[in-house]
A and B are shown apart, each in its own frame.
Chain A
Amino acid sequence: MEKFSRHVGVPVPLRRSNVDTDQIIPAVYLKRITRTGFEDGLFAAWRNDPEFVLNQDAFRNGSILVPGPDFGTGSSREHAVWALQNYGFKAIIGARFGDIFRNNAGKAGLVVGVVSEQTVDRIWDYIEANPGQEIEVDLVERRVVLADGTQIPFEIDDFTRHRLLEGLDDISMTLQHEGDIAAYEATRPSFKPKTLPARTADTVA
């Protein structure tokens, strides 16, 4: 995973709440077997609307999304994170997120910073007053810095921040604890089910 410390880019105000992962990318776009190419499906239902924020010149090349509350709820599809990244987004600043979406973002290297709803309103007002003006997302200091120097702190848990700053791969980290995993496995009771050898109603009957 690429390291992330600071990113300067254009913020995009997405004035909608409850943008679930079906809205971020509809199921019909989930059929690729790669991690790339999902930008076509990003916000697919809204992309043909000339009024949609990403169709406005000031925001077309945005890389910091500022959505309304309860963004990324619903389906677990990590494709929602990939679609945002494939489009060019590096960070999301918002008030509330679906748990699985936020987890997925952390694993895939998309920074999700949490602020209050009032702060989102403030950032929206600022962006709309200064469309296309770049802002900074500073993961080291956990803050957004506006062009006028205003600093807005955001929350992200320590462990996710650490992993993003260092670009650490979760699996390699876990495999360092192979001894612990093997020791745990040795204690599992024999009644715990195994899927192999396969049994079905036909083989049992």
Chain B
Amino acid sequence: MGKTLSEKVWDAHVVRTAEGEPDLLYIDLHLVHEVTSPQAFEGLRLAGRPVRRPDLTLATEDHNTPTLDILKPIAEPTSRKQVETLRQNAKDFGVRIHSLGDRDQGVVHIIGPQLGVTQPGMTIVCGDSHTSTHGAFGALAFGIGTSEVEHVLATQTLPQKKPKTMAVNINGELPDGVTAKDVVLALIAKVGTGGGQGYIVEYRGSTVEALSMEGRMTICNMSIEWGAKAGMMAPDETTFAYLKGRPHAPEGEDWDAAVEYWKTLRTDDDATFDVEVDIDATQLTPFVTWGTNPGHGVPLGAVVPNPEDFESDVEQATARRALEYMALTPGTPMRDIKVDTVFLGSCTNGRIEDLRLAASVLKGRRIADGVRMLVVPGSARVRLQAEAEGLDKVFLDFGAEWRAAGCSMCLGMNPDQLQPGERAASTSNRNFEGRQGKGGRTHLVSPPVAAATAITGHLSAPADLSA
């Protein structure tokens, strides 16, 4: 019987296998950031161990970092300490780092693909759950905890129990105004936040094949939001074209050998998945969340649901608490929900295509009264690219703030935060209670919906705008 894509990549990385033990997998790339690494480096220091493969390791600063005044020392002392600790660790252990102010700094999941160190068929880990992003290239990529970060630093391997396999078949042409973000939000609403637990997922079908690498990354990025171990997509000509000429892409004969190998990274026709899920892309509309987990999503044209519509007592209780936290009443049209803040950015939607899409909606318009909009490129290079295209002017003329790269308002760890009770339309990945700042209320949206919402002041799609 044939193999699935994930089984091929898994099997190619098994260093050791033994009865009753997890497989020991070799890790091709280890991405590191300041929040989940200090205790791991300290563990190495205490044990007198080196980083086994600094040449397969890459660090950057993103979670704690401000997006204003980035060349000044970080004002908040504990954030500064954490970033300084990473710089010292990188120096002591010989790890490459792209620090604040560097042209290659940015959100860890944006810079890997951008530098071309993310490639098909690799195993990639990072102490960050959104590592699943890299699966868009046909890599097996997943988030790990700090103990595992230390393990990879010390051994370049990780013991892993082989997950089951799932296919998500997404077919059909996306209607106008519907993006990869809407696809994944609709998927999570369908399968639930625990729907992928224990599975490596392969997203496949004509919709996926038609997406750009940016769109593919958006879907893979949110694999963790429905509990999947990893999300993957088979590499194809779109993937190869994206990689060609990137700083760390193979060259010459290596390129030819690599492409030849990458072309084998497809699920065999006679392979089977443990589970399959089907999504009809032609039926999708812009999707937004109403509650406090990414599974709490509805079409923009729908209303806030009633907790009684949920099946189990526990889900009903969760929905009631979510509505209370979000200060929403069942039956309210989603389009009537007013926001204070719009956040465009993050490892989900902070790439150049996302900024272009939002700018195309905003161009020549003005931001709604009383709304603030933060536009935060996912990396310093994305920022430079956007400026070269004049997108910064579009955002500034519109009345938005144009910031430096980082995780920013995706998580309440740096100065960009919601105030208690503030409501945001956000292109990020999590609407958990307090995620964007204590007491903040988050509606997850796509970049076009974020842009249209900034224009009207309430949840909107570009199609709602008057000409």
Closest to B89 in A: A33
B24 touches A103 (CB 8 A): no
Interface residues of A in 48-92 (CB under 8 A from B): 68-70, 73-79, 81
Chain B stretch 28-52: residues in CB contact (< 8 A) with chain A: 28-29, 35-36, 38-39, 42, 47, 49
The 0/1 profile, CB within 8 Å of B marked 1, for residues 189-205 of chain A is 11111111011111110
- From the candidates B78, B144, B438, name the one contacting A45 in the complex (CB within 8 A): B438
Minimum distance in angstroms from A108 CB to a CB of chain B = 6
A200 in contact with B430 (CB, 8 Å): no
* Contact present for A35 and B39 (CB under 8 Å): yes
| With A76-B128, A171-B155: A196-B55 Cβ-Cβ less than 8 Å | yes
CB of A5 closer than 8 Å to a CB of B: no
- Taking a contact as CB atoms under 8 Å apart, the answer to whether B58 and A195 are in contact is yes
Bound-state Cα–Cα, A107 to B39, Å: 14
How many A-B Cβ pairs are below 8 Å? 218
Taking CB atoms, residues of chain A closer than 8 Å to B104 are 200-201
> From B292, which residue of chain A is reached at the shortest CB distance?
A18
B24 pairs with A177, CB closer than 8 A: yes
Contact with A along B405-442 (1 / 0, CB 8 A): 00000011100000000000000001011110010000
- B127, CB-defined interface residue at 8 Å: yes
Interface flag for A147 (CB, 8 Å) = no
Q: How many residues belonging to A are interface residues under a CB distance threshold of 8 Å?
A: 65
A141 at interface, CB cutoff 8 A: no
| B17 closest partner in A (C-beta) | A180
| A185 lies within 8 A of B145 (CB) | no
Q: Are B194 and A70 in contact (CB under 8 A)?
A: yes
Q: Which residue of B lies closest to A96 (CB)?
A: B194
**Bound complex: CA A100 to CA B230 (Å):** 11
Number of interface residues of B (CB under 8 A): 90
User: Within the complex, which residue of B16, B229, B247 is in contact with A200, where a contact is CB–CB below 8 Å?
Assistant: B247
Residues of B within 8 A of A73 (CB): 193-194, 227, 293
Can you list 13 A-B pairs, Cβ within 8 angstroms, ordered by A?
A: A22-B430, A22-B434, A27-B411, A27-B435, A30-B413, A31-B82, A77-B145, A103-B148, A107-B151, A189-B258, A195-B57, A196-B96, A200-B103
Binding site for A on B (CB under 8 A): 15-16, 20-22, 24, 26, 28-29, 35-36, 38-39, 42, 47, 49, 54-58, 63-64, 78-79, 81-82, 85, 96, 103-104, 115-117, 119, 122, 127-129, 131, 142-148, 150-151, 154-157, 159, 161, 193-194, 197-198, 224-225, 227, 229, 245, 247-250, 254-255, 257-258, 261, 292-293, 314-315, 317-318, 321, 381, 411-413, 430, 432-435, 438
Beyond A26-B412, A100-B144, A107-B147, 5 additional contacts (C-beta under 8 Å) are: A17-B315, A23-B433, A75-B411, A181-B24, A195-B58
